[in-house]
Structure 1
Amino acid sequence: MRCTITTGQASRGPRKGRGWSLPLSLALWVLAPVSLASTLTLDDALRSARELSPELAAARWGTDIAAGERIQAGVLPNPELSWEVEDTRRRSQTTTVTLSQPIELGGKRGARIALSERDQAVAALELERRQNALHADVTAAFHDAARAQERLELAGQSLRLTERGLQVVQGRVRAGTASPIEATRAQVQVSQVRLEQQRAEQAVTVAHQQLAAAIGIAQAGFDRVEPLTKGLSPVPASEPLLDRLAQTADVRLASLQIDQSEAALGVARSQRIPDLTLSIGSQYDRAERERVNVLGVSVPLPLFDRNQGNVLAAARRADQSRDLRNGTELRVRSEVVQALAQWRSAGHEVRSFETSILPAAQQAVDVATRGFERGKFGFLDVLDAQRTLVEARTQYLAAQASGTDAQARIQRIFGDLTGTPL
């Protein structure tokens, strides 16, 4: 069962037009540190991460920063007011007041605006990439926490089996039908399994804390996460995903960075043309008691600095961005192919464990345990069957981890896979 409540704005600052919806477990952790048995679902974790993640919040501010830079790029240069006095003697001094206005030439303002608009688009894509990465990180951390809980449950089952075996052996020793060595061996096994359970408990604590960090909270406000369903999610078809490579945030960002570098080249080229400064003023000669108008035009002479170095660097950056775009597409394509292959392989392993390996291992433990209790098998036979089951369950969890890791890699590239053809 999952519940949500609505609270006030986050403490780090208000968000315009956005409420703050938290899962019940996380909200109660924020409001009061009470002891609460709560189960966190994946949907709640993702929803809370979108509201609480500092990295995502920083990416959102990046779009506002780019918007401010776009405004500044279109601002005209300010006029300049100057006042000059010639001759400090009052009767013979001349006073001049001048208003100067720089006039940008060479399309500098338009080039700045074009570059700032590309920067805005880059910031928006960075936000999209951060959202995809957050979705993948939280999903992976959630699955890690769920598997850690399964390992703890497996350790608990093993402990119950070994304690049960110890009781049977101790009863046989008291009846004189078994050697005390078997009781000692059973006691050692119980101690080892208890240590394994303690390690599993610590792993659950660490996994919960890592999930809390991925969500964006300082401390886990939940006791456990919702158990994973059996099997893995269906593997998407390769061709539809590969056809969407150009639409991924990584490739779109690399393509946009080509436009960004070309816009920066336009800015560098516009700087080669000097600006013109027009001035108009009034001059008053106190000795002659005469006022005259003053007009002026000034322009730098581009004899030495024609911004040639910056133009060359910007041109090479544009060439570099094209190669980086090609490299990004190759990298993303290779990662998609590898992740899909890993996902399929893990899916086959998981189905094999669920359909044949785990049931057979569990049946072997049940048969060995019943036979041991009836005196047909020795305690070593029970231990061997238990080790086989534990190893099979461990390998099963490793196969699940491999599959969910591949799924997270695909989600990091494409975002939410809902609706993707299978």
Structure 2
Amino acid sequence: MQRFIAALLAVASCASIAHAQSSEPASTSPPLTLERALTLAGAAAPTLEAATAGVRAAEAGRTVAGYRPNPSIVAETENVAGSGQYRGVRSAETTAGLAFPIELGGKRSARIAVADAIGNRARIGSALAEADLRLAVTQLYIEATAAERRLVTAREQAGIAREALRAAGVRVQAGRASPLEQQRADVLRINAETAVERAQRLADVARDNLARRIGQPVTDALDMAWYDRVEGYGPAQPIAPAGTLALAAARADATTAEAQVRLARSQRIPDVTLSASARRLEATNDVAAVFGVSIPIPLFNNGRASVAQARAQSDQAQALRRAAELDTAQDIARAQVEVANAATSARNASGPALASATEAARIARIGYREGKFGQLDLLDAERTLSETRTAAIDALATYHDAKARLERLVAAAPSLEENDR
């Protein structure tokens, strides 16, 4: 009789586990892949809109920088509203003409160089925004898939806890165990069902966060095959920071600062304003030409302070560029090690360790039903299995996160074309 009950419990346990594993409703639609999520996020990201607007602003600034100074209309009337022969407008002299500012010292080309540098920096900023968005969406996708996997695991553990409670009840009724075992099993069942509720809430929040980022509800299944996949990762090869987005931004800042130095130097040279006018003498009704030239005197502001300021800012940008080279190289090397270690941990945790813990828990369940193992042995095996499953999920999440951060670090800078206008 006892063997029959044990066999019946074993069959019920297998059915319960199978039900827990398939508790998620099957979906006929394809899963929401990471690449699909990235595409949707790119179409709804305000950060990309801001970066694109920045590029447009820089292009407009490049056009403005190429304009030459506008001419001015000069008009004046002399010898009016005075006394004697200058009473009224009888002796008025009216002059009308144009004044043409002439830029000297290469100011226009210096402005264009600054505008070009700012435009290149804006395009790099747009690429940085895309890379940051890709990392953010990838991390949200990792969080959502890990939460889904934790929910499935929690449901499986809850199903196992319910079966353990039934087995304990049968043992108590048969007089083979004390009522304490049944009470202990009931506590474990309650804790397991509570864990399911917590995992469900976390999974819902993770899906909602991903939905906010991609701009639409996440109702389809997620790509669990991608989450479980650990790519082979051999010895890390050194990756030079040259050509990466992080270093390209620092170099663009240094280029902009150097262009500002050239602009400050060009502004030390005074501009010349030429004017050509026609003067009409009211008394004789004659007309005469008037030519003029205007040159400012750099008496109080000779531009040296502006050049010194621009040079100091350029030195600062160059120092930051060198610091960025060091930091980027260190960050890449550290990220490579993290990816390699995470890949090893994920393969071990989701492979041999998980298989051994699963087999040990299966043997403990059968032995407990047949009276060969005590309840403490069963609980220890189940706890080990639960911890191993959690470790495997965490290891996979750590691996994907480390890989995403490495890809962000080594993202290639866009090719920038110089403007020749």
TM-score per shorter chain, which class?
Answer: 0.7 to 0.9
Match of 2:317 in 1: 321
> 1:247 and 2:243 equivalent?
yes
Match of 2:404 in 1: 408
- Which has the larger displacement, 105-114 or 78-87? 78-87
Kept after mapping to 2: 8 A contact 1:277/1:299: yes
Following TM superposition, by how much is the alpha carbon of 1:379 offset from its aligned partner in structure 2, in angstroms?
Answer: 2.9
Kept after mapping to 1: 8 A contact 2:228/2:396: no
- Which has the larger displacement, 47-56 or 143-152? 47-56
Where in structure 2 are the equivalents of 1:326-365 lying within 5 Å? 326-365=322-361
Match of 1:46 in 2: 38
Say how many residue pairs are matched: 378
**Cα deviation digits, residues 259-317 of structure 1 (max 9, x gap):** 21111100000110111111111222223322222111101101120111110011111
Kept after mapping to 2: 8 A contact 1:77/1:102: yes
- Which has the larger displacement, 352-361 or 205-214? 205-214
Following TM superposition, by how much is the alpha carbon of 1:183 offset from its aligned partner in structure 2, in angstroms?
Answer: 2.0
> 1:60 and 2:52 equivalent?
yes
Counterparts in 2 of 1:37 and 1:170: CA distance versus 1, 3 Å: farther
Distance of 1:202 and 1:183 partners within structure 2: 29
Following TM superposition, by how much is the alpha carbon of 1:156 offset from its aligned partner in structure 2, in angstroms?
Answer: 0.5
**Cα deviation digits, residues 236-257 of structure 1 (max 9, x gap):** 7633x524x2111121222232
Kept after mapping to 2: 8 A contact 1:162/1:190: yes
Match of 1:75 among 41, 56, 67: 67
Kept after mapping to 2: 8 A contact 1:146/1:226: yes
Where in structure 2 are the equivalents of 1:210-359 lying within 5 Å? 210-215=209-214, 217=215, 220-227=217-224, 228-235=226-233, 238-239=236-237, 241-243=238-240, 245-359=241-355
**Cα deviation digits, residues 372-402 of structure 1 (max 9, x gap):** 2222223332222111111111122222222
RMSD of aligned alpha carbons: 2.1
Match of 2:7 in 1: none
1:91 partner amino acid = R
Kept after mapping to 2: 8 A contact 1:36/1:223: no
Following TM superposition, by how much is the alpha carbon of 1:162 offset from its aligned partner in structure 2, in angstroms?
Answer: 0.2
Where in structure 2 are the equivalents of 1:144-159 lying within 5 Å? 144-159=143-158
Following TM superposition, by how much is the alpha carbon of 1:318 offset from its aligned partner in structure 2, in angstroms?
Answer: 1.4
SS of structure 2 residue aligned to 1:85: strand
Match of 1:160 in 2: 159
> 1:96 and 2:92 equivalent?
no
Kept after mapping to 1: 8 A contact 2:280/2:288: yes
Match of 2:393 among 390, 393, 397: 397
Following TM superposition, by how much is the alpha carbon of 1:348 offset from its aligned partner in structure 2, in angstroms?
Answer: 1.6
Structure 2-normalised TM-score?
0.84
Structure 1-normalised TM-score?
0.84
Counterparts in 2 of 1:221 and 1:345: CA distance versus 1, 3 Å: closer
Identity of aligned residues (%): 35
Distance of 2:28 and 2:320 partners within structure 1: 51
Distance of 1:223 and 1:140 partners within structure 2: 18
- Which has the larger displacement, 75-84 or 327-336? 75-84
Kept after mapping to 1: 8 A contact 2:71/2:101: yes
Kept after mapping to 1: 8 A contact 2:146/2:394: no
Distance of 2:234 and 2:69 partners within structure 1: 55
**Cα deviation digits, residues 195-227 of structure 1 (max 9, x gap):** 111111111122222323443x2x533343111
1:224 partner amino acid = A
SS of structure 2 residue aligned to 1:122: helix
Distance of 1:66 and 1:257 partners within structure 2: 14
SS of structure 2 residue aligned to 1:294: strand
Q: Between Structure 1 and Structure 2, whose CA radius of gyration is higher?
A: 2
Counterparts in 2 of 1:403 and 1:161: CA distance versus 1, 3 Å: same
Distance of 1:295 and 1:147 partners within structure 2: 80
Kept after mapping to 2: 8 A contact 1:134/1:214: no
Distance of 1:238 and 1:359 partners within structure 2: 29
Kept after mapping to 2: 8 A contact 1:66/1:120: yes
2:149 partner amino acid = E
**Cα deviation digits, residues 26-58 of structure 1 (max 9, x gap):** xxxxxxxxx997731112112222222221222
Distance of 1:230 and 1:39 partners within structure 2: 14
Stretches of structure 1 that go unaligned for 5 or more consecutive residues are: 1-34, 417-422
> 1:376 and 2:375 equivalent?
no
Counterparts in 2 of 1:310 and 1:234: CA distance versus 1, 3 Å: farther
Match of 2:9 in 1: none
